[in-house]
Amino acid sequence: MSSFSKRDRKPKKKSSGQRGLILITGIIIGIVFVATLYQTSVYFSTNKSCMMCHVHPHAEESWKLSTHVNNGSGVMVNCVDCHLPPSDNTLEHYSAKLALGVRDVWGYLTKDTADIDWDKKSELENAVKYIPNKSCVKCHQNLFPQGVTDDGITAHLYYEENAENLDLQCISCHLDVGHYNPNYAHGQMVGVPGMSGSYAVDTSLYFKEATPVNTFTDYREQIPGTAVSFLMRAIEGGTFTMGSPEKEPFRKPDESPRHEVFVSPFFMAEVETTWDQYWAFYSETMSEGRTPPETVYENNLAAMGVDAISGPTPPFGYPDQGWGQGDRPAITMTHYAAEIYCQWLSAKTGKKYRLPTEAEWEYAARGGTQTAYFFAGSPREFSEHGFMRNIFKPKTDSISAYVVYNKNSDGRTQPPSVVLPNPFGLKNMLGNVMEYTADKYDPEAYVKRSGITRDPLVTQGEEWVVRGGNYNFDAADVRSASRAHTQHDAWLKTDPQQPKSIWWYSDIKGVGFRVVCEPDTSIIADK
């Protein structure tokens, strides 16, 4: 082929005019694209567009009633101001917006909104996932504005000092600022049943005296000066094998070795201490202000009657979480508060009420059985853990009849009426709330015992034993032998009090207690 032919076949270069036209066209298309993208972003940042997908009935209404709309400054805070990172961090803001937008649109198109539990989604555990703390701080840079209360100053000073190392979140205390919740109260307790001014009380219904107990049988205790009563079950003493066998699924090292334990007869409450019972104590003994622990301890050491028993100090927020009061288990109190409740109850009734020992608790929970649960079934059948759960769903029918746990609790405590009792007539020994015991936690406690141990009680340690698991636990952790313990500092991390409150846990909801009563020796002798 000739050189001429090769040259003839080369493509002709585009003229400068053509290149300029392509460039201008590209720029115009880019501008239109960016403008369109911007306008789309602006539109989908409006409250109206947010409400298109977030169709739960109270989203818009509760927002309009909140302090982010109704405030003295006249400033209205919009959906994206709270639910997205600040816009001055462009990449973080728009990437979060894209991720949330795709998820919300998909959920709107594929899910029936009527099946969604909107109240549950509004609780702190869920809300904290969608409220970047930096968005709160962006607007509220001054944490000590004019008019802030003393409690507010204390809380905000604590936040400034510990926000980073404890991962403190503004909405842990200010949950209702974006969506008003009439059941949420911050700072001061209000509406406690039995307290002056809360509502009219018919004192003619109050019990004049406690229930006399002359035989070792079940009885219904009545608290004098209140309309509150509760059932106590007579638990025969005896010897049982404490701990879990080596082949029990999901057993933990602190549940071994198995060993023989003898427990003396005792009475135990049929159900966990209810709000009705705890409010009676609270309304009669509540301390004014936040009394230092050493003062309260001193008061109680010298206490000879109910009037000398110091009661709870007001917590931040509302302890029942809006889940309901009445016969639901009382929650969020410290171990110390549970102990003082027992002291108060003893003074009111003339009997010796206390927390159960760990051995008494397990003996009662087993109800005469030695299996993983007091009902038929293996933890492997009920648990979400394990290889088989990748193929088959866990069984729920039989365990749900007796236990309030993560598969049937709806993410909150439940009244005792939803479960059946164990062979000793006790309800919610497993699940619903973890229950305090009188024992300090020692992972080696069982190792240190030999022979038949009579009425053991561990008194050395930093934390307390809690038993039974709670409404949020897997079936593996609500076995009769399963052990756990308090985590005092972690459970109180958002509590700004110095020293930390001895009364209320602000970060743990699934803990409560039930009482036992020591029978008079003459009753036991007459058996």
Return the pLDDT at 155.
78
Candidate from 231-235, 258-262, 288-292, 463-467 with smallest mean pLDDT: 288-292
- Residue range 285-311, pLDDT digits in tens: 876 555 555 665 565 555 444 445 777
Name the residue with higher pLDDT: 478 or 302. 478
34-38, 65-69, 304-308, 393-397: range with lowest mean pLDDT: 304-308
Residue 467 has what pLDDT? 98
Question: Which has more confidence, 265 or 523?
Answer: 265
**Predicted local confidence at residue 306, as pLDDT:** 41
The token pair at 73 is: 């400054």
- Residue the block writes with tokens 């994206």: 80
% the chain with pLDDT above 90: 43
The residue written with tokens 């079950």 in the block is 233
| Domains of the chain as residue ranges with CATH | 20-172 (1.10.3820.10), 203-525 (3.90.1580.10)
Tokens of 413: 């405590």
114 against 268, higher pLDDT: 268
Rounded-to-integer distance, Cα 156 and Cα 143, Å: 6
DSSP state of 164: H
According to DSSP, the β-strands at 434-440 and 511-512 are parallel
pLDDT of amino acid 299 = 58
Residues whose CB is less than 8 angstroms from the CB of residue 144 and which lie 6 or more positions away in sequence, other chains included: 153, 156
Structure confidence at residue 258 as a pLDDT band (50, 70, 90): very high
Span 465-482, average pLDDT: 97
Q: Which of 194, 212, 192, 211 is nearest to 203 (CA)?
A: 194
| Pairwise CA distance, residues 65 & 512, whole Å | 33
Confidence of residue 262 (pLDDT cuts 50, 70, 90): very high
The yes-or-no verdict on residue 42 having pLDDT over 70 is: no
* Residue 417: closest CA among 486, 309, 503, 329: 329
**pLDDT, mean of residues 230-250:** 96
In this predicted structure, the answer to whether residue 189 has a pLDDT above a threshold of 80 is no
Q: Where are the beta strands (DSSP E) in 169-297?
A: 219-222, 229-235, 238-242, 259-263, 266-269
Per-residue pLDDT, 46 = 81
Determine the pLDDT at residue 80: 83
Full-model pTM: 0.78
CA distance 491 to 509: 9
pLDDT at 10 over 60: no
CA distance 95 to 85: 10
Top-confidence residue, 13 or 450 = 450
355 vs 160, more confident: 355
Range in 71-85, 246-260, 297-311, 336-350 with the lowest mean pLDDT: 297-311
Could you write out the DSSP letters of every residue in 411-460? TS---GGGS---TTS---SSBSSEEEEEEEP-TTTTTT--SEEES-----
Asked if the model's pLDDT at residue 156 lies above 80, the reply is yes
- Could you identify the residue written with the tokens 């492997």? 380
Identify the DSSP state of 388. Answer: G
Output the pLDDT for position 319.
77
Q: Which residue has the higher pLDDT, 388 or 364?
A: 364
- Given a contact cutoff of 8 angstroms between Cβ atoms, the answer to whether 144 and 153 are in contact is yes
Q: State residue 193's pLDDT score.
A: 57
pLDDT tens-digit readout, 85-144: 888 887 888 788 778 777 777 877 777 766 777 667 777 777 778 888 888 888 888 888
- What is the per-residue pLDDT for 9? 54
423-460 residue pLDDT tens: 999 999 999 999 999 999 999 999 999 999 999 999 99
Closest CA to 90 of 41, 39, 162, 22: 41
For position 307, what pLDDT does the model report?
45
pLDDT band, residue 183 (cuts 50/70/90)? low
Q: Look at residue 43 and tell me whether its pLDDT is greater than 80.
A: no
**Which pLDDT score is estimated for 185?**
57
Q: Which residues have a Cβ under 8 Å from the Cβ of 327 and sit 6 or more positions away? A: 271, 274, 275, 276, 415, 416, 417
More confident residue, 338 or 143: 338
Give the confidence band of 196 by pLDDT, cuts at 50, 70, 90: very low
